[in-house]
Amino acid sequence: LHAWAEHMQREYGYTHLQSFDAQQTRSLIASKRYCAAVLDDFGGHLHPLNYTLGLGRAALNAGVVLHEQSPVISVKPAAQAGGGKALVQTAQGSVRARHVLLAGNVQLGNVAPRLSRRIMPVGTYIIATEALGAQRAKSLVRNRACVCDTQFVLDYYRLTGDDRLLFGGRVSYSTATPRDLAATMRRSMLAVYPQLSDVKITHAWGGFVDITMNRAPDFGRIAPDVLYLQGFSGHGLALTGMAGRLAAEAIAGQAERFDLFTRLRHKPFPGGDLLRTPALVLGMLWYRLRDLV
């Protein structure tokens, strides 16, 4: 971990990282689990749903029309659809567009099967505790930073504005939600913070991220008028904002920055449609066992 911080400073000139030993780490995080830490005092964390709703309001104010509950059945570039524009077909009707941007995460399915084979849906899950009170919440993470560890299947957590602990982790590579999700996640939380054994869990939920084989984003074009953005691999909150800007630039005719990402090469997950999920589950089990050891 400290070697990574030194690499970031040396190779990229990122000077905002502070390396801590075990004692310094425990002065910030009230857990005996960690032997070291790196603090990024230039980073931050926010409420992702509120951020997304804010983007939606900004889009509406700019004149965008949102059509929710309208799953796309097919997309045909202008060269195939005729009429000089791409054709987007839904169950309720169709739309003609000069440009189409596919940003469907793991939901592209039959709309773009060639693309969907290059990503895997990985479930990640979160619990929220009852409100702890300001003093007890601050005792867990004294500077209220967000935290993640270095396991392959990592834990991640932060404090909310109303002094709850949000605790995430326990991924699923089989697309099946773990049984008794709240209890399963609570055990993970208590492994870090056993002092929370008396605290109730009030919420538990999850969703899917789209990962690529190399964990790098997969941006590109199906046709000159059909672009796609996928493979955010757990970096979505920051990366999608940048991706949207690059796609907008490309549509407007300034594609230099977008094209840098299109040069990244991505392969389909091995095993085909039938075996790729079981193969991934077995492979990830190996890494999970390494985490436990």
CATH number, domain at 237? Answer: 3.50.50.60
What percentage of the chain exceeds 90 in pLDDT? 67
For the chain, the domain total comes to 2
What would the pLDDT profile of 67-113 be if each residue is shown by its tens digit? 888 899 999 999 999 889 999 999 889 999 999 999 988 888 889 88
- 17-26, 44-53, 244-253, 262-271: the lowest-pLDDT one: 262-271
What would the pLDDT profile of 239-266 be if each residue is shown by its tens digit? 999 999 999 999 999 999 999 999 999 8
Q: Which long-range contacts (CB under 8 A, 24 or more apart) does 75-78 make?
A: 75/100, 75/102, 75/111, 75/112, 75/222, 75/226, 77/222, 77/223, 77/224, 77/225, 77/226, 78/223, 78/225
Q: Is it the case that residue 275 has pLDDT exceeding 80? A: no
What was the pLDDT predicted at 289? Answer: 67
Q: Which residues have CB under 8 Å from 122's CB, separation 6+?
A: 171, 172, 173, 208, 209, 210, 211, 234
Residues 24 and 91 in one domain: no
Q: Is it the case that residue 199 has pLDDT exceeding 80? A: yes
What was the pLDDT predicted at 147? Answer: 96
Residues 67 and 38 in one domain: no
| Domain residue limits at 28 | 1-43
Confidence of residue 238 (pLDDT cuts 50, 70, 90): confident
280 in a structural domain: yes
Closest CA to 156 of 142, 143, 170: 170
How far is the CA of 165 from the CAs of 25, 126, 168, 202, in angstroms?
A: 19, 10, 10, 11
Mean pLDDT of 135-163: 93
What was the pLDDT predicted at 140? Answer: 97
Rounded to two decimals, the pTM is: 0.84
Residues 31 and 53 in one domain: no
Mean pLDDT of 158-185: 86
What was the pLDDT predicted at 106? Answer: 87
